[in-house]
């Protein structure tokens, strides 16, 4: 079954410690609701840097990565439907999705 990488950008709408706790409850419920489709629940990441042929940008670019998850689904549309319920989509949170390409290395 194809694997899809969910790359999280921006941040969810979290204004307080209580909001953060509620977000984690919602995140766990969403992730667990996907069942075996979750290959790797992933992780949040710290501030990124962007490496180019001319150097390094300290700010992670115009839309820095904030975390990843790897899921499996029959089609891109199925993967999009799974990602659509993610609580990261509150606030300025967005999800970039791409199919992983299997290659012999």
Residue with tokens 């953060």: 20
Residue pLDDT, tens place only, 22-72: 999 999 999 999 999 999 999 989 888 888 899 988 877 778 888 999 999
Q: What's the CA gap between 37 and 74, in Å, rounded?
A: 10
Q: Give the span between the Cα atoms of 105 and 97, in whole angstroms.
A: 23
pLDDT at 3 over 90: yes
CATH topology of domain 3-47+61-99: Alpha-Beta Plaits (3.30.70)
Put simply, whether the predicted model's pTM sits higher than 0.95 gets the answer no
Q: Which residue ranges make up each domain of the chain?
A: 3-47+61-99
Tokens of 76: 């891109």
Tally of residues, the chain = 105
Contact 62, 35 (CB under 8 A): no
């Amino acid at each position: 079954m194809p694997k899809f990488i969910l790359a999280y950008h921006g941040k969810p709408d979290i204004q307080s410690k209580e909001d953060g706790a509620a977000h984690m409850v919602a995140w766990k419920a969403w992730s667990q609701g996907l069942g075996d489709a979750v290959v790797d629940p992933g992780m949040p990441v710290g501030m990124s840097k962007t490496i180019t042929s001319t150097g390094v940008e300290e700010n992670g670019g115009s839309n820095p990565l904030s975390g990843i998850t790897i899921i499996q689904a029959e089609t891109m549309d199925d993967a999009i439907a799974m990602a659509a319920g993610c609580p990261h989509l509150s606030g300025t949170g967005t999800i970039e999705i791409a199919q992983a390409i299997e290659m012999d290395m």
